[in-house]
Amino acid sequence: MTAHDPYDPKEFYDNLVKHKLVLPGTTPGIFGRGAEFEKVLLGFNNLVSRIASDDSAELMLFPPCVDRKLIEKVGYMKSFPHLAGTVFSFCGHDAQHRDLLGRIQDGKPWADLLEMSDISLTPAVCYPVYGNLTGTLPEKGRLVDLTGWVYRHEPSPEPTRMVSFRMREFVRAADADTVIEWRNTWKERGLQLLLELGLPAKLDTASDAFFGRGGKMLAANQRDQQLKFEVLVPVISAENPTAVCSFNYHQDHFGKTFDIKAANGEVAQTACMAFGLERMTMAMFKTHGFVTAQWPESVKKLLWP
Amino acid sequence: MELSFRFATRPTNSYQMTIDDSIRKVLKDHANLSVDALTVAEDADLYKNGMTSQTGVNVMLALEGAFDFEFPDTMLNRSVFQTIANIRAAVQKLTEKN
- B15-51 b/e with 16+ CB inside 10 Å = b? eeeebbebbbebbbebbbbeeebbebeeeeebbebeb
Min CA distance, B6 vs chain A (Å)? 33
The pLDDT tens digits of the residues spanning A240-284 come to 999 999 999 999 999 999 999 999 999 999 999 999 999 999 999
Partner residue opposite B60 with nearest CB, options A75, A214, A224? A214
Q: Which of A301, A250, A245 is nearest to A273 (CA)?
A: A245
Q: Identify whether the C-beta of residue A123 lies closer than 8 Å to the C-beta of residue A84.
A: yes
CA distances from A181 to A173, A185, A186, B94 (A): 12, 6, 9, 42
Q: Do A218 and B77 lie within an 8 Å CB cutoff?
A: no
Q: Which of A161, A231, A165, A160 is nearest to A194 (CA)?
A: A231
Contacts B81 to A, Cβ<8 Å: 217
User: What CA–CA distance (Å, rounded) separates A242 from A36?
Assistant: 21
Partner residue opposite B57 with nearest CB, options A214, A222, A224? A214
Q: Do B54 and A224 lie within an 8 Å CB cutoff?
A: no
Q: For chain A, what is the mean pLDDT?
A: 97
Q: Where are the domains of chain B?
A: 16-96
Summarize the confidence of residues A13-26 as an average pLDDT. 97
Tell me, which fold does domain A9-85+123-303 have in CATH? BirA Bifunctional Protein; domain 2 (3.30.930)
User: What CA–CA distance (Å, rounded) separates A250 from A232?
Assistant: 21
Q: Is B92 helix (H, G, I), strand (E, B) or coil?
A: helix
Mutate one of B30, B48, B53, B78 to test the A interface: name it (highest A CB count within 10 A). B53
Q: Where are the domains of chain A?
A: 9-85+123-303, 87-116
CA atoms in the 13 A half-sphere facing the CB of B57 = 17
Summarize the confidence of residues A212-220 as an average pLDDT. 92
Q: Do A213 and B76 lie within an 8 Å CB cutoff?
A: yes
Where is average pLDDT lowest: A53-67, A113-127, A207-221? A207-221
- Of chain A, the end-to-end C-alpha distance in Å amounts to 46
Output DSSP code: residue A188: H
Q: Do A213 and B77 lie within an 8 Å CB cutoff?
A: no
Asked if residue A103 has pLDDT above 80, the reply is yes
Contacts B75 to A, Cβ<8 Å: none
Highest mean pLDDT among A276-280, B7-11, B53-57: A276-280
User: What CA–CA distance (Å, rounded) separates A55 from A273?
Assistant: 14
> May I ask the CATH architecture of the domain B16-96?
Orthogonal Bundle (1.10)
Q: Which of A222, A185, A221, A217 is nearest to A206 (CA)?
A: A222
pLDDT value for B1: 41
The pLDDT tens digits of the residues spanning B18-49 come to 899 999 999 999 999 999 999 999 999 999 99
Min CA distance, A74 vs chain B (Å)? 12
Mutate one of A77, A78, A217 to test the B interface: name it (highest B CB count within 10 A). A217
The pLDDT tens digits of the residues spanning A225-237 come to 999 999 999 999 9
pLDDT band of residue A3 (cuts 50, 70, 90) is confident
Asked if residue B97 has pLDDT above 80, the reply is no
Asked if residue A78 has pLDDT above 50, the reply is yes
Q: Identify whether the C-beta of residue A31 lies closer than 8 Å to the C-beta of residue A163.
A: no
Summarize the confidence of residues A57-69 as an average pLDDT. 98
Q: Do B61 and A213 lie within an 8 Å CB cutoff?
A: yes
Asked if residue B66 has pLDDT above 90, the reply is yes
User: What CA–CA distance (Å, rounded) separates A183 from A172?
Assistant: 8
Enter the ipTM: 0.75
